[in-house]
Amino acid sequence: MATTNDIKNGTVLKLDGQLWNVIEFQHVKPGKGGAFVRTKIKNVVSGKIQDKTFNAGLKIETATVDRRDYTYLYKDGDDFVFMDVQDYDQVTVPGPVVGDDENFLLENIKVNIAMHDGTPLYIELPASVTMEITYTEPGLQGDRSTGGTKPATVETGYQIQVPLFLETGTRVKVDTRSGDYLGRVND
């Protein structure tokens, strides 16, 4: 058992027999009344996000979660296969657990997988990944001005918005949380 003071991002709570991952939290101490903790939590199984408020000092049940580093190997049907970087064991993570993070999974990328009783709960990607643009419309002369963007498809098939002057074959840095273009990468 823990208290609301122990709530942090990534904490997994056991509420009503279900596991919830804390995405955001804020300790609030109003001028009047008791302090409380405002959280945004995500259901580990369904992916549903909800806001929940806890009174300060309230006892809460946390789940034991083992977070380890893995390397992404390949996709097997709807599932994804990862290898533990310490003992080389392979683990299969179901497609719904990976979710939209599939758009940023490149071979040999290092991820962090949270497990509870041997069941993968969620994966954590690095903040950004370097990907190659596999298709985008060619830029026109004079497209060097600021502000304009165009769609571009990266090597996983995901589509992002990039500046007009970028061409097919360019390597770019992409934010894994929002899918935004962060800049060009010169190898």
Confidence of residue 132 (pLDDT cuts 50, 70, 90): very high
Q: What angle do CA 119, 79, 135 make, to 5 degrees?
A: 135
The answer to whether 79 and 89 have CB atoms below 8 angstroms apart is no
Is residue 135 pLDDT above 70, yes or no?
yes
Same-domain pairing of 144 and 119: no
> What CATH number is associated with residue 75?
2.40.50.140
Same-domain pairing of 84 and 39: no
Domain that includes residue 71, residue range:
66-124
Same-domain pairing of 120 and 132: no
Same-domain pairing of 133 and 179: yes
Supply 131's token pair: 């990907």
Residue whose C-alpha is closest to residue 44's, from 17, 68, 80: 17
Q: Is 104 helix (H, G, I), strand (E, B) or coil?
A: helix
Express each pLDDT in 27-48 by its tens digit. Answer: 888 888 888 999 999 888 777 8
> What CATH number is associated with residue 16?
2.30.30.30
Given 124, 157, 172, which residue is the final one in a domain? Answer: 124
Query: What's the alpha-carbon Rg for the chain, to the nearest Å?
Result: 20
Residue whose C-alpha is closest to residue 161's, from 145, 137, 181: 181
Supply 130's token pair: 């370097």
pLDDT at position 145 is 57
Given 105, 124, 143, which residue is the final one in a domain? Answer: 124
Same-domain pairing of 78 and 94: yes
Is residue 177 pLDDT above 80, yes or no?
yes
Confidence of residue 140 (pLDDT cuts 50, 70, 90): low
pLDDT at position 82 is 94
Confidence of residue 146 (pLDDT cuts 50, 70, 90): low
Q: What angle do CA 83, 64, 19 make, to 5 degrees?
A: 95
Same-domain pairing of 137 and 149: yes
Given 22, 38, 60, which residue is the final one in a domain? Answer: 60
Same-domain pairing of 72 and 53: no
Same-domain pairing of 137 and 119: no
Supply 73's token pair: 């190997």
pLDDT at position 21 is 86
The answer to whether 44 and 19 have CB atoms below 8 angstroms apart is yes
- Percent of the chain's residues with pLDDT above 70: 95
Is residue 143 pLDDT above 60, yes or no?
no
Q: Report d(CA 163, CA 174) in Å as an integer.
A: 13
Same-domain pairing of 100 and 115: yes
Supply 10's token pair: 């990534």
Same-domain pairing of 136 and 116: no
Fill in the DSSP letter of residue 9: T
- Mode of pairing for the β-strands spanning 59-60 and 49-55: unpaired
Nearest 5°: phi and psi at 84?
-65, 130
Count: domains in the chain: 3
Nearest 5°: phi and psi at 46?
-90, -20
